[in-house]
Chain A
Amino acid sequence: MGDLEPIFPFKAIVFQILFLLVAIALEAMVLRQRLRLGYKQSVRYAAAVNLLTVVVGWFAFLSIEPLMGPRLQAQVISYVLFDNLINNTLKPQMGLIILVVGLIAFFITLVLKLKGLELIMRALGAWKMPSRPKELSRQERYTRSRTGTTQYQEAASQFAIAVLQANALSFSAILLLLVMRSYILRSVA
């Protein structure tokens, strides 16, 4: 690598901070309502979990991008530097590729948020989820046969649904912002 060009990813940083703020605000709202975590605490959890996913995402991108084939790498460079996709043999498939990458990103983020939130709450000693019981008491067996779930399953699914809803909400909001951005830019041009 020779001289460094005076070209910095400042726009990426500004957008990332904006999207993080949006995601944290929305997810904190959902966590507060669904898990009754308290106002400040849910903002903190949402911030930690979103920062975690963003960091993992960056590391994934930075480690996968050098391994890409030249055609895909050209598309990535084109998107990052010029905000368009270049007209190479991969162009017809780019829509599919973006869709698949987006779906994978969504599910990996979901798993990361579930596990990350659990780990952070455990680290803080705030994990109130009943642990998976080895043996069910008579009362619980009775409830299970009546409702089909145990207390543990009930709580775990409550938690998972809350995180899923938070993740879906923040993804939709960011997607909406991205679509709005490209729409506005197109109408200006």
Chain B
Amino acid sequence: MIDILKDIVEKFRGLVTPPNYLSWQTCLLLSLFSWLMAALSEASAASPWTVNLLSTFSWLFLTIAIWWGLTKNPVRVGYVSISPWITAAVMCVFVFRPWTAERLQLAMGFWPVVATILVAIPNFFNWGLDWKLPKPPVRQELIVLLLINLLLSSWIMFFFRIQYWFSEYPSLVAENLGNSAFVYRFGADDSGGSQANILLTSAAESLTAQLDNAPWPRAERWLLNLDNSISSVAKEIVLNEESELVFWSLDAPRPQSMSNGYQIKLRANWLGPTAEQNGYYVEKVCTILPRTLKKRTEGAEDTEEPEETGSATPVADVTCSDQTVKVERKVGLDESTI
């Protein structure tokens, strides 16, 4: 065990120890040294400028070391050396610092192009660093290589464009993507991504705010004038991604009367792209019941409004269920607002 470890350490040392001054191992050690210095200066509270300078040098030496080392010992997949892509990846990380999504997009998009430039540069200079045009067969190879890498860039940017759609319209994530000729989903479908629940909860809150504790005649008037009422509810809906609102429309079928009150269904119609043939809607049931204030004073410990206890006008009591039901439409919507 110890012998194996020793062997590994020996091999590593043999790999890292520079064979002469001008070698990639020197650059690697310089990079390590700069990084250590950066860490030291960070610890000793040096100015940020110093830390930045040192860490930049560390990255720079690391990039050169990897470039140089991979040129000496190319990594091959089949017949193609993928060293330029590895070096380009390190360079893109160094230049773009892709810690945020936008920068990641930029870094990934430029990655293949940077790799092409890395492959092309040695062909445009001779040993004296003089500019020269490569020979025609090499030119042809470089043109095709550039185009292939631009195609890779396009695919990467297309991937990010699709991700942008999903971030803009999160309910699309909950759809079944099996029919697509373009995308493939890894892992199981997750149907939790739809914003229908958020929308209906928000609508129910707005409905409660408008009707709960309102005098019963006003509630009945509200229900009679349902279309206007619902559009006033729809105005107050809040979604996580506001941009998705263009694909939703809220309406409600005629309220059903039950015992002494009414039951209405808040219905969120999805008008956007969907895998369902005729689209779908999601419903949430709310019941509106009259409640006499007498009952309320019994339930509550103290009577805050003693002057109203005498009056017989009942108020509306709104309760919405937590459940929502997703229904596939049998026939398509005749006209869509979008």
Give the B-binding residues of A (Cβ under 8 A). Answer: 1-2, 4-13, 15-16, 44, 47-48, 51-52, 54-55, 58-59, 62, 65-66, 70-71, 74-75, 77-78, 80-84, 86-89, 120, 123-126, 181
**Interchain residue pairs with CB less than 8 A apart (17):** A1-B101, A4-B163, A7-B163, A9-B182, A10-B183, A11-B182, A11-B183, A11-B184, A15-B182, A48-B144, A51-B148, A55-B147, A62-B157, A66-B161, A70-B246, A78-B272, A125-B136
Q: Within the assembled complex, what's the spacing in Å between the Cα atoms of A35 and B155?
A: 33
What residues on A are CB-neighbors of B246 within 8 Å? 70
Asked whether B225 is an interface residue with its Cβ less than 8 Å from the other chain, the reply is: no
- Stretch from B172-180, B260-268, B305-313 forming part of the interface with A: B172-180
Nearest residue (CB) in A for B105 is A1
Cβ of B124 < 8 Å from any Cβ of A?
no
> Is A82 touching B147 in the complex (CB atoms < 8 A)?
no
How many residues belonging to B are interface residues under a CB distance threshold of 8 Å? 54
The binding surface of chain A is classed by DSSP as helix
A77–B165 CB distance below 8 A:
yes
A121 to nearest B CB, angstroms? 10
Chain B residues close to A by CB (< 8 Å): 101-102, 105, 136-137, 139-140, 143-144, 147-148, 150-151, 154-155, 157-167, 169, 172-173, 175, 177, 179-187, 246-247, 271-275, 278-279, 332-333, 335-336, 338
Task: Pick from B139, B172, B186: contact of A81, CB below 8 A.
Answer: B172
- Bound-state Cα–Cα, A74 to B336, Å: 12
A137 to B32, CA, bound (A): 72
Q: A37: shortest Cβ distance to chain B, in Å? A: 13
Given A62-B157, A181-B181 in contact, is the A123-B143 Cβ separation under 8 Å? yes
Report B198 CB to chain A, min CB distance, Å. Answer: 15
Q: How far, in whole Å, are A78 and B162 apart by their CA atoms in the complex?
A: 12
B residues in contact with A10, CB < 8 Å: 183-184
Chain B, residue nearest A123 (CB): B139
Chain B facing A: main interface SS: helix
Known: A7-B184, A87-B279. A44 touches B144 (CB 8 A): yes
Chain A residues lying within 8 Å of B175, measured Cβ to Cβ, are 81-82
Closest 8 CB pairs of A and B: A78-B273, A58-B154, A51-B147, A1-B101, A12-B182, A6-B186, A124-B136, A83-B179
Residues in B neighbouring A65, C-beta threshold 8 A: 161
**A88 lies within 8 A of B147 (CB):** no
Q: Which residues of A contact B186 (CB under 8 A)?
A: 6-8
Q: Which residues of the partner chain B approach A75 to less than 8 Å between Cβ atoms? A: 273
User: Given A7-B177, A82-B179, 13 other A-B contacts at CB below 8 A?
Assistant: A1-B101, A4-B163, A7-B173, A11-B180, A51-B147, A59-B154, A62-B158, A66-B161, A78-B272, A82-B180, A82-B274, A84-B179, A124-B137
- Give the docked Cα–Cα distance between A146 and B158 (Å): 55
Chain A residues whose C-beta falls within 8 Å of the C-beta of B273 in the assembled complex: 74-75, 77-78, 81-82, 86
**B247 in contact with A74 (CB, 8 Å):** yes
Given the known interface contacts A55-B151, A83-B181, the answer about A120 and B140 at a Cβ–Cβ threshold of 8 Å is: yes
